[in-house]
């Protein structure tokens, strides 16, 4: 009974991110959508395996934990880049605020590279 309760608390609660993923998809913020799906899967698998004491499912618990940490770090990097509100140059040489601009993409890729090489 305790394992089932821990499974619900730590694993199934990750389902709460699905509405946010839908909103990101509707805003065409595809990098964030893929990062969110990656975070959802790794977090769900790590916490579910840990709560029901499964030794390995493709990766062992430590492998899923490392992937979950990478996803969490990238989520914070992406949040901070989004909060920077970088401007995108329009064809009329004016700058405007858009949900995801070229600078954001480059910074996210750099953050991903740095996180993966740590």
DSSP assignment of 12-34, as one string? GGGGGGHHHHHHHHHTT-HHHHH
Q: Which residue has the higher pLDDT, 28 or 52?
A: 28
Candidate from 26-40, 69-83, 90-104 with smallest mean pLDDT: 90-104
Give CA separation, 70 vs 11, 15, 52, in Å. Answer: 18, 19, 23
**pLDDT of the residue at 38:** 94
**pLDDT of the residue at 62:** 85
Alpha-carbon distance of 8 to 6, in angstroms, equals: 5
Q: Which residue has the higher pLDDT, 118 or 5?
A: 5
**pLDDT of the residue at 69:** 92
Record the pTM. Answer: 0.80
């Amino acid at each position: 009974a305790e394992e089932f309760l821990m499974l619900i608390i730590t694993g199934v609660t990750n389902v709460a991110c699905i509405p946010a993923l839908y909103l990101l998809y509707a805003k065409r913020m595809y990098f964030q959508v893929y990062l969110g799906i990656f975070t959802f899967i790794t977090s769900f698998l790590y916490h579910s395996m840990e709560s029901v004491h499964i030794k390995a499912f493709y990766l062992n618990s430590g492998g899923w934990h490392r992937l979950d940490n990478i996803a969490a770090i990238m989520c914070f990097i992406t949040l901070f880049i989004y909060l920077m509100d970088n401007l995108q140059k329009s064809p009329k040489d004016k700058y405007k605020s858009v949900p995801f601009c070229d600078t954001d993409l480059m910074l996210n890729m750099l953050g991903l590279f740095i996180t993966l090489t740590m």
